Structure 1
Amino acid sequence: MSPQPDYAQKILIVGAGVFGLSTALHLAKRGYTHIHLFDSQPYHINNYACSPGCDAASCDENKILRASYGDARLYQDLAFKAMPEWRRWNEVLAEMKAEDLPAGLREGVRLWNDCGFLRLSGEGLEESEVATQASFPEGLRGTQYRVSDEGRRRDAEDERIPKTKIDPFGRLERGLAMDGVLDMTAGFVLASRACAFALFLVRRAGVKTWLGREYGTKSLMREGKRVTGIVTNDGEEHFADTTIVACGGWTPSLLPEIEQLVETTAGSVLSIRLPENRQDLWDKFSPDNFPVWSWNMNSYDPNSKNVAGLYGMPRTPEGVVKVAFRGAKWTNYAYRSSATGRQLSYPKTDVDKIPEEAMRVIRSFCEENLPELLDLDLERGRLCWYSDSVDNSFLIDYPPETEGLLVANGGSGHGFKFLPVLGEHVVDVLERKDTEYTRLFRWRDVPEGDPNGLREGVEGWRTLGRQKMVGQEVWRRGGDDARL
């Protein structure tokens, strides 16, 4: 039986990204009254926007919101639980007067857009998609349109789903191989805006926020096996009954306990801004006409140099189109653990280029399917740093033989969609409740083998030190193709 919660205990949360924000929201909702949220970024000023230098994974133009989880039913169910909450946030924002909107948001912009998610493969369905279709609730099977099925394409047309959402790249018209599923339960959320709104809700709920470089966490304070709080960059000590570490890719460098279960890895992201005078492109890439998409998402093979592991988004309200590569998870062994001596991957965010191999894959796909983007300048190239767990499942638990410390980590590139609901389960862990989710997220041993490809270490081919970094000079059509 769980002990009676101490709602008056002092709780520090390190990290104001998705895990930290959601935890703070649900702690306040559950009745905790002494909550402090710390981050080195002045999010109350920069509103989580990428352009001012925000470098957490949560700071992004948009993120995919989907319940396609193969046979991982608990994650599927949690995604379906999050969707109504995202709709509620849309409704709350729609009812707010312009002058009352949180900074970073504007009238008429929805956080959650269910424009559909087109999961494509060259021939046949990927195994993960077959498992997803088998797991989807019976009542939602009608929202799944297989693009190789002429009957289902007609059904989509009858439902007034634009043909461009079934075949946004014109592959069927050109007789090119393509299979996959258009999932109309899915779409995207405007990530930075969503975080800005969540921060607004957190502060309105009475959580004390400590945001800015001086409030970044320098170290944890320990007395024997107990963590007693944190030391911030300004040298101040902040004591706590419970410290929750939720700082994404920076977590392994702060917590030796997590080193073997989580590795910091990066995806490659390109952002292209559509010219204001190209209404044709604004219309084409509008969420009304263009879906979230992925291409051979689980099929990238570095040995064959194939084109796979890609995803992309419709344009943002400002006209930014994002294309990204996650087939290779880049690492940067730039930190040595003071506790174990092990070299750890650490976020390198001061770059505006991506590895040449990522550019080759993205550019090859665009040459065949989105050539118009190659006529436009890149607005930004960047690496998006995630905390990948060894099995892609979240790690939310008290570390063994450590008191006063709770870890909320291992987002593995799929955590953002749960922003409105994840914190409920973090609080359940805090209160030591035994639920199917606290069991799913609990601390585990390092599995045999290498299920997530995270054990190559410093000698692995994915390290940034082994990559040539490229950007604008090879992006545009007619660029220096020989370099790719």
Structure 2
Amino acid sequence: MSLTNDTEPNRSRRIIIVGAGVFGLSTALHLAQRGYSNVHIYDYQPYHENSYACSAGCDAASCDENKILRASYGDAKLYQDLAFKAMPEWRKWNEMLAQTSASELPPGLSPDVTLWNNCGFLRLSSDRLEESEEKTQQNFPDEMKHTQYRVPDESRRRDAEADGVPASKIDPFSRFGRGLRTDGVLDMTAGFVLASRACAFALHLVSKLGVHTYLGPEYGMKSLIRQENEVTGIVTNDGKEHPGDIVVVACGGWTPSLIPEIERLVETTAGSVLSFRLLDDRQDLWDNYSPEVFPVWSWNMNSYRPDHEDIAGLYGMPRTPEGVLKVAFRGAKWTNYSSHSHVTGRPLSYPKTDVDEIPEEAMRVIKTFCKENLPDLLDLELERGRLCWYSDSVDNSFLIDYPPDIKNLIVANGGSGHGFKFLPVLGEHVVDVLERKDTEYTRLFRWRDVPDRDPNGLREGPDGWRTLVKQRMVGREAWKAAKA
């Protein structure tokens, strides 16, 4: 049912949110902004101490140097619209952070750091435009189309120069100068956000708004408290019970192992990430990979096929303020069937975060691309390789709803590798779900059946080729051999 003007929600209900990543933080933020006064957020990671930093051992998908912020969504117009709605909110966060005294901020944050950098997003392919890009260009609002520069079009390259866009952003790999076949679009509405810092700032905001936070190993959720088909709270790792009128579970890749009802709708998968730190004595690299002259980029993002030794499914970022440069491979979504459902017994993919290596196939793709397009990186030491674990839904759309036939439980999941950009705005729609409002977004995110089409390969299970047990894992030594 949907709320009417006569049905005012009880904003004093005790609401428990499990998970302090993007979905949980945004939900807490919008609950507080909508007047809910009894909101409690739990997470096993001590984010108040480590500021969501990967280098401090944080392993949730929301913990990252940076994430792409873009509205390129093909024909998924509601996601496109939500991304455009998020962008001005990110600008407001930039302003809020700049106006906050350093003494008021938690560790890891300072007023001189820009969370959202509108440096542009160059989406390239080795041949013609990918189908998703063609749909994006068709569906972008007319008033935004001047920000889209088709890179092989000489007139549009001149337009970019006239608009003050550095030539290096439209051809950062010098492919035109080398006569290499390339197509794509430089999208100057897009860029990146400093992800871990953004989460730390959101945690700061919700705390100021009166949300109660419980962070650390003892506060991880051990189990739900269930009475038949009704959820009445959670049990944390320290064995304590915490009653709640509504429980929102937003645990990313860990959720399928906690909520059996979503096992068939969400699978935990990983992308492969390599991070390089620029040396202090290489000012040329600091300059060349600065977001002022170097864009976010992707390469053949939807074209990877493992049986063809493709160089595809890649993306990368400009350097961070600390000089960290990231290149990632998401063409193959790795799985790790190390857990089993405690209800059905079916094998479940579960995050494996205790490795500093990536599958050899991912390393092959990244190395081959860098040899042709980013040879500077071959001279750098690999600082870290890691797997970033996401929760992929069956159709890449978020799953935010009450599971059927269960009272007082909301699952907020299925980020599918594209949820971070919505941090300032997503919670509005989670609260609409909580209040049982019927909107175009609550319908988009609602519980659904498994579709006939299987874009994420969830039906493969442990027999699929993407499982980690079938991969040879490699790390720093493999990168050192990249020049060979």
2:363 aligned with 1:359? yes
Counterpart Cα distance in 2 of 1:456 and 1:156: 45
User: Secondary structure of 1:264's partner?
Assistant: strand
In structure 2, do the counterparts of structure 1 residues 478 and 431 end up closer, same or farther at CA, with 3 Å as the change threshold?
closer
Counterpart Cα distance in 1 of 2:118 and 2:249: 32
Counterpart Cα distance in 2 of 1:352 and 1:158: 44
Structure 2: which amino acid aligns with 1:310? Answer: L
- 1:31, CA displacement in angstroms? 0.6
Counterpart Cα distance in 2 of 1:160 and 1:404: 53
TM-score, structure 2 as length reference = 0.98
Counterpart Cα distance in 1 of 2:342 and 2:258: 10
Counterpart Cα distance in 2 of 1:227 and 1:446: 24
Q: Any gaps of 5 or more consecutive residues in structure 2?
A: none
Q: Are the equivalent residues in 1 in contact too, given 2:97–2:110 (CA < 8 A)?
A: no
Give 2:229's aligned residue: 225
Give 1:470's aligned residue: 474
- 1:368, CA displacement in angstroms? 0.3
Structure 2: which amino acid aligns with 1:273? Answer: R
Counterpart Cα distance in 2 of 1:451 and 1:272: 31
Q: Are the equivalent residues in 2 in contact too, given 1:266–1:329 (CA < 8 A)?
A: yes
In structure 2, do the counterparts of structure 1 residues 143 and 478 end up closer, same or farther at CA, with 3 Å as the change threshold?
closer
- 1:100, CA displacement in angstroms? 2.4
Structure 1: which amino acid aligns with 2:192? Answer: F
Q: Are the equivalent residues in 2 in contact too, given 1:14–1:38 (CA < 8 A)?
A: yes
2:268 aligned with 1:264? yes
Give 1:240's aligned residue: 244
Root mean square deviation, CA, Å: 0.8
Counterpart Cα distance in 1 of 2:362 and 2:215: 34
Counterpart Cα distance in 2 of 1:216 and 1:107: 31
2:318 aligned with 1:318? no
Counterpart Cα distance in 2 of 1:181 and 1:330: 28
Q: Are the equivalent residues in 1 in contact too, given 2:43–2:220 (CA < 8 A)?
A: yes
Give 2:101's aligned residue: 97
Structure 2: which amino acid aligns with 1:199? Answer: L
Give 1:149's aligned residue: 153
The structure 1 residue matched to 2:426, chosen from 414, 422, 425, is 422
Give 1:334's aligned residue: 338
- 1:249, CA displacement in angstroms? 0.2
Give 2:38's aligned residue: 34
Q: Are the equivalent residues in 2 in contact too, given 1:187–1:291 (CA < 8 A)?
A: yes
Structure 2: which amino acid aligns with 1:58? Answer: S
- 1:370, CA displacement in angstroms? 0.4
Counterpart Cα distance in 2 of 1:22 and 1:306: 37
The structure 1 residue matched to 2:460, chosen from 456, 459, 469, is 456
Percent identity of paired positions between Structure 1 and Structure 2: 74
Q: Are the equivalent residues in 1 in contact too, given 2:299–2:313 (CA < 8 A)?
A: yes
User: Secondary structure of 2:384's partner?
Assistant: strand
Structure 2: which amino acid aligns with 1:141? Answer: K
Counterpart Cα distance in 1 of 2:164 and 2:102: 33
The structure 2 residue matched to 1:197, chosen from 194, 201, 226, is 201
After superposing the two structures, state which structure 1 stretch, 450-459 or 165-174, moved more. Answer: 450-459
1:316-345 Cα offsets, whole Å, 9 max, x none, are: 000000000000000000101110101000
Q: Are the equivalent residues in 2 in contact too, given 1:265–1:331 (CA < 8 A)?
A: yes
Structure 2: which amino acid aligns with 1:418? Answer: F
2:211 aligned with 1:207? yes
2:71 aligned with 1:67? yes
In structure 2, do the counterparts of structure 1 residues 419 and 478 end up closer, same or farther at CA, with 3 Å as the change threshold?
closer
2:394 aligned with 1:390? yes
Give 2:119's aligned residue: 115
- 1:308, CA displacement in angstroms? 0.1
Give 1:85's aligned residue: 89
The structure 2 residue matched to 1:252, chosen from 249, 252, 256, is 256
Give 1:50's aligned residue: 54
- 1:477, CA displacement in angstroms? 5.2
After superposing the two structures, state which structure 1 stretch, 450-459 or 45-54, moved more. Answer: 450-459
The structure 2 residue matched to 1:431, chosen from 427, 435, 452, is 435
- 1:452, CA displacement in angstroms? 2.1
Give 2:166's aligned residue: 162
Counterpart Cα distance in 2 of 1:327 and 1:206: 41
Give 2:175's aligned residue: 171
1:7-57 Cα offsets, whole Å, 9 max, x none, are: 010100000000000000000001111100000000000000000100000
The structure 1 residue matched to 2:143, chosen from 123, 139, 144, is 139
1:300-329 Cα offsets, whole Å, 9 max, x none, are: 000101100000000000000000000000
TM-score, structure 1 as length reference = 0.98
User: Secondary structure of 2:411's partner?
Assistant: strand
1:156-182 Cα offsets, whole Å, 9 max, x none, are: 011111110000000000000111000
- 1:476, CA displacement in angstroms? 2.6
Counterpart Cα distance in 2 of 1:132 and 1:305: 27
Counterpart Cα distance in 1 of 2:203 and 2:324: 24
User: Secondary structure of 2:62's partner?
Assistant: coil
- 1:478, CA displacement in angstroms? 5.2
Give 1:274's aligned residue: 278
Q: Are the equivalent residues in 1 in contact too, given 2:367–2:482 (CA < 8 A)?
A: no
Counterpart Cα distance in 1 of 2:482 and 2:260: 48
Q: Are the equivalent residues in 2 in contact too, given 1:375–1:477 (CA < 8 A)?
A: no
User: Secondary structure of 1:175's partner?
Assistant: coil
